[in-house]
Chains A and B, each alone.
Chain A
Amino acid sequence: MANGHQASGIVAARLPAADIADNFSDLHPAYAPHEAAVAADRCYFCYDAPCMTACPTDIDIPQFIREIQAGHPESAARTILGQNILGGMCARVCPTETLCEEVCVRETAEGKPVEIGRLQRYATDALMAKGEHPFTRAEPTGKRVAVVGAGPAGLSCAHRLAMLGHDVTVCEARKKPGGLNEFGIAAYKSTNDFAAREADWLLKIGGITLETGKALGDGVTLDGLKADHDAVFLSIGLGGVNALRASGEDLPGVRDAVDFIEELRQADDLAALPVGRNVVVIGGGMTAVDAAVQSKLLGAENVTIAYRRSRDAMPASRFEQDLAASRGVKLMFNVMPVAILGDGAVTGVELEYTTVEEGRVRGTGERLTLAADQLFKAIGQTLDGAPDGVALEGGKIAVTGAGRTSVAGVWAGGDCASGGDDLTVTAVAEGRDAAMDIHAALTS
């Protein structure tokens, strides 16, 4: 028997297992072939297509959609993967509503863009279903490159380098590759273990040695890597989290949203995963939305996102906000936590209303209290464990050009590097571009 929404405290199995499985099914289900044909037919094959410019990896979108139209999703996939080797994951997780689909001329014309993301998934799924890897390696160059971190940036960089004939060693602190694809992205975006399957498929290119459970800073040093390799690419993501600096932050029941999501993503049985009855998420980004929505899908009764600025300033897109609202999450704007309440465990949170003046958030003095038996902090991740000697900028590794750091022979990309949005697709683009720059440096 399920425990139900109203069971108090942080408990597992609030919903019957079948309901949970249903709740966590694909957010954007795969197209059937005819649906794909109809969707593809909507593309106008624009000249100098705006969607293509908006894609951080510059995928030739009209070209791949035309290949789908002409009955060759596999060749469409080659067009996609040639630019973005994680095109399968990006098809599932890209906030297309703020990227390619936002500028699709049919979005501007009729508010209904060509569904580029789903078409991209249709193409990449078709190719991956064949189990083939579409790329081959160039003649060996004899050069060795170390990649630190096997998230999207690291995998993209490693793949491109391997393709160009270099030998790549990827050192990854965790037991599995994929980075946030594996541990962070919402479960309903990456179903059926897609992140792991995609990483396996990507590694089929050959020439990449993946060393998991091996962390830079824990027996591995940058100097050591530099000594053994011709170049190093740092793609360690953002391992730290910001603190709330509100009293009661240490109470049981208060947790980093990313930890909760990681546990959820790695859970074999979601029904066994405990969740609170009254859940409050502090923050306004994708992490906040994902923690809130997934809490709701697990069966929490009341889930509230408390964000300190206005709706317009919220980093999560309007689509993400609406997704949360449609799953029953309550969105509160212009409120900030001042105290986490509870004795022995969290029971509530005291919030203060805010105004924003010249960009700065100020409390108005008016307060309210929300009941909470679980509180997630999702107020941003920070760089953790950057090697000494590498210059930082705004809390990230400073880079110029295609990811060059202050240290010769060391590149960086993805969330850990300065500039760019913290998105999967941006990480892929940066990894690829750094690989091209490393290749140019090693072969010049």
Chain B
Amino acid sequence: MADLTTEFLGIKSPNPFWLASAPPTDKEYNVRRAFEAGWGGVVWKTLGSEGPPVVNVNGPRYGAIYGADRRLLGLNNIELITDRPLQTNLEEITRVKQDYPDRALIVSLMVPCDEESWKAILPMVEATGADGIELNFGCPHGMAERGMGSAVGQVPEYIQMVTEWCKQYYSKPVIVKLTPNITDIRNPARAAFAGNADAVSLINTINSITSVDLDALAPQPTIDGKGTHGGYCGPAVKPIALNMVAEIARDPATAGKPISAIGGVTTWRDAAEFMVMGAGNVQVCTAAMTYGFKVVQEMISGLSQWMDEKGYAATSDFIGQAVPNVTDWQYLNLNYVAKAKIDQDACIKCGRCYAACEDTSHQAIWMKEGRVFEVNDAECVACNLCVDVCPVEECISMVPMAPGAVDPRTGKVVEAGYANWTTHPNNPAAQAAE
């Protein structure tokens, strides 16, 4: 069995699966049970400054998007940071860390954007013995309106400034948690590292309204007739998170820096994808909130099976391995030509590929006598839409054409070499090939 032990910022955990800062990590009771269930680490639910804690709404806080059979695909929340007293949290953190020295325990923080506030809380956190802190610059609702959370995360200068304070007043690793509610994720990441952050974690939740109650004519969740935007998470946000992780992993300014990936991790596969894309570990919230702490067991068994199959002995063997294969569109090989091919034995003759291609793409699928569906290579541009809509896995494949063959669509010979848009004759800005 593969060894899942992961070292992230020098913090060891028995596996790379941490619970993200959220309700699952809100208190000692939860965190102890999470550790017993097998989680490698937790980021404690975000703490605020000393004084009366924030209050949450007393109506519904969550909204959801479902797939078939009411499978939860996306969750939206309007919850705030912890609504329990700071001292209570600190005492609990201290106790839990003592009892679970082999697990990672990170404390998430969000205090007002002034040096005094940070200077005040950091020694108290240091005293708990926790392994590090995570700065919550991501919460998109409630806290942002008070000048915290994503209100800080959207201004790179603030990120750098706060990070510097933390590095000054706290001795252990500092992780900066980024908000996705921004145009270019690389800027806040660069700012965090410029402020000497040890790592970034992302994503926090995405601004969203999940649905509208058509009787009440109000957003859901609805509280006394009104609703507000909340933060979106769960499987639906994974592609967005994956791209943001990749952007940071391949940005020359931040390449190779530690990343803790968050966003829609539900099975081992999601975790593996984030990790080959440059993440040192992953954090999970919605999957645990949907299925309970036990979900981690599949993540553990799944990741170890995959590692065994691939011959990886340690997580460090594959972290970041896919990063070199992420490139910009302009560098994609335009000489590569593929054609869709339908496996007639696997095809169940539903005709979805035909409807999709005929109505919305390139009219490259024939519907022949007896509902036989075939690709017309002379029209197929290999867009992949048929593959995506076909209900049968691996029924349609994209078959690359061999160099030297003639593409019946263009009449051109498929070239063996690599050529991209930067040198393409149709590109007005093309540089002449050397």
Binding site for B on A (CB under 8 A): 34, 37-38, 41, 44-50, 105-106, 108-109
Tell me the complex Cα distance, A109–B351, Å: 13
Q: Given A45-B352, A46-B352, decide whether A109 and B392 contact each other with a Cβ distance below 8 A.
A: yes
The answer to whether A50 and B349 have CB atoms under 8 Å apart is yes
Binding site for A on B (CB under 8 A): 68-70, 348-352, 354-355, 367, 371, 391-392
The answer to whether B371 and A34 have CB atoms under 8 Å apart is no
**Residues of B with C-beta under 8 A to A44:** 350, 352, 391
* Residue in A37, A45, A47 with the greatest tally of chain B CB atoms within 10 Å: A47
**Least Cβ–Cβ distance between B68 and chain A, in angstroms:** 4
**Residues of B with C-beta under 8 A to A34:** 70
Contact of A47 among B70, B348, B354 (CB under 8 A): B354
**Residues of A with C-beta under 8 A to B350:** 44, 46-47, 105
Tell me the complex Cα distance, A444–B298, Å: 71
**Least Cβ–Cβ distance between B52 and chain A, in angstroms:** 43
Contact of B349 among A37, A38, A45, A105 (CB under 8 A): A105
Tell me the complex Cα distance, A45–B389, Å: 11
Tell me the complex Cα distance, A41–B371, Å: 23
Contact of B352 among A38, A47, A108 (CB under 8 A): A47
Q: Which residue of B lies closest to A45 (CB)?
A: B352
Q: Which residue of A lies closest to B354 (CB)?
A: A47
Q: Which residue of B lies closest to A49 (CB)?
A: B351
- A-B Cβ contacts below 8 A, count: 34
Contacts A38-B68, A46-B352, A108-B349 supplied; 20 other A-B pairs, CB < 8 Å: A34-B70, A37-B69, A37-B70, A41-B68, A41-B69, A44-B352, A44-B391, A46-B350, A46-B351, A47-B350, A47-B351, A47-B352, A47-B354, A48-B367, A48-B371, A49-B351, A105-B348, A105-B350, A106-B348, A109-B348
**Least Cβ–Cβ distance between A50 and chain B, in angstroms:** 7
The answer to whether A48 and B351 have CB atoms under 8 Å apart is yes
Tell me the complex Cα distance, A41–B68, Å: 6
Tell me the complex Cα distance, A109–B371, Å: 14
Tell me the complex Cα distance, A46–B349, Å: 8
Tell me the complex Cα distance, A45–B355, Å: 10
* Residue in A48, A50, A106 with the greatest tally of chain B CB atoms within 10 Å: A48
Tell me the complex Cα distance, A37–B68, Å: 8
Q: Which residue of A lies closest to B371 (CB)?
A: A50
The answer to whether A38 and B348 have CB atoms under 8 Å apart is no
**Residues of A with C-beta under 8 A to B354:** 47
23 A–B pairs (Cβ distance < 8 Å), ordered by A: A34-B70, A37-B69, A37-B70, A41-B68, A44-B350, A44-B352, A44-B391, A45-B352, A46-B350, A46-B351, A47-B350, A47-B351, A47-B352, A47-B354, A47-B355, A48-B351, A48-B367, A50-B349, A50-B371, A105-B350, A106-B348, A108-B349, A109-B348
Tell me the complex Cα distance, A311–B41, Å: 64
Tell me the complex Cα distance, A38–B70, Å: 8
Q: Which residue of B lies closest to A48 (CB)?
A: B351
**Least Cβ–Cβ distance between B138 and chain A, in angstroms:** 34
* Residue in B348, B367, B392 with the greatest tally of chain A CB atoms within 10 Å: B348
**Least Cβ–Cβ distance between A106 and chain B, in angstroms:** 7
Tell me the complex Cα distance, A46–B392, Å: 13
* Residue in B70, B355, B371 with the greatest tally of chain A CB atoms within 10 Å: B371
Tell me the complex Cα distance, A106–B392, Å: 10
List the 8 closest pairs (A to B, CB-CB), nearest first.
A47-B351, A41-B68, A109-B348, A47-B355, A46-B350, A105-B348, A44-B350, A105-B350
Tell me the complex Cα distance, A44–B68, Å: 12
Tell me the complex Cα distance, A45–B354, Å: 12
Tell me the complex Cα distance, A44–B395, Å: 15
Tell me the complex Cα distance, A48–B70, Å: 28
**Residues of B with C-beta under 8 A to A105:** 348-350
**Residues of A with C-beta under 8 A to B352:** 44-47
Q: Which residue of A lies closest to B391 (CB)?
A: A44
**Least Cβ–Cβ distance between A274 and chain B, in angstroms:** 47
**Least Cβ–Cβ distance between A159 and chain B, in angstroms:** 33
**Residues of B with C-beta under 8 A to A109:** 348, 392
**Residues of A with C-beta under 8 A to B70:** 34, 37
**Residues of B with C-beta under 8 A to A38:** 68-69
**Residues of A with C-beta under 8 A to B371:** 48, 50
* Residue in A46, A49, A106, A108 with the greatest tally of chain B CB atoms within 10 Å: A46
